Amino acid sequence: MKLYESYVENESLLMSTYLDPRFSYVPDLLMRVRWTEIEESIALYSESLIIVPTSAQPPVPKKAHVEESSYAKFVQSKRLSVGGNSIQAEMASYKALVVAGRPALDSDPVTFWRAHRERFPLLQRIALHFLSPTQSSAIVERLFSVCGSIVNNSRRNRMKPKTLNQQHLCAALATLD
């Protein structure tokens, strides 16, 4: 229970859970936190984002489609009214999409967000920030250092990779509380 409490208190972990379409809006997943509270955190976070354009030139405009039917005009007006840059509109569309058809548990959430970047531009930026791993971290550097010292040891330099992996796994599990 102590681990769960530390999870619920960590805002980054809550936002990551929300932005992972495999777990977002799952009923009773978070016992004490409501999804609306996480949505408010996402909205506050999106207001603090500074969007820097990737190029100085504007993108090439899309070709205009000439649609005559009143239904097509209605759908287009709904897209324009809901599909603005409002984070609340994106979150409502995201909720509808996720609840209607949740991705498989073995799917990659980053792939999901790249596929939906046109529909959810603001949420996609936030999701890539929270769900993408850092390129390098101190933990990885320490792991490479420990592996290097084991492999460079004259008595263990013939250790198979599987044995090395098992040794590190046992050492890591021994440090858990």
- Nearest alpha carbon to residue 93 among 83, 102, 85, 101: 83
- CA-based R_g, the chain, Å: 23
**What's residue 151's pLDDT?**
76
Whole-prediction pTM: 0.56
pLDDT exceeds cutoff 60 at 64? no
**What's residue 67's pLDDT?**
53
The C-alpha atoms of residue 137 and residue 55 are separated, in whole angstroms, by: 29
Asked if 49 and 125 touch (Cβ cutoff 8 Å), the reply is yes
Running DSSP on this structure, what letter comes out for residue 166? H
pLDDT exceeds cutoff 50 at 88? yes
The C-alpha atoms of residue 99 and residue 79 are separated, in whole angstroms, by: 20
pLDDT exceeds cutoff 50 at 117? yes
Q: What is the pLDDT of residues 7-54, one digit of tens each?
A: 677 888 888 888 999 988 888 787 778 888 888 888 888 887 765 555
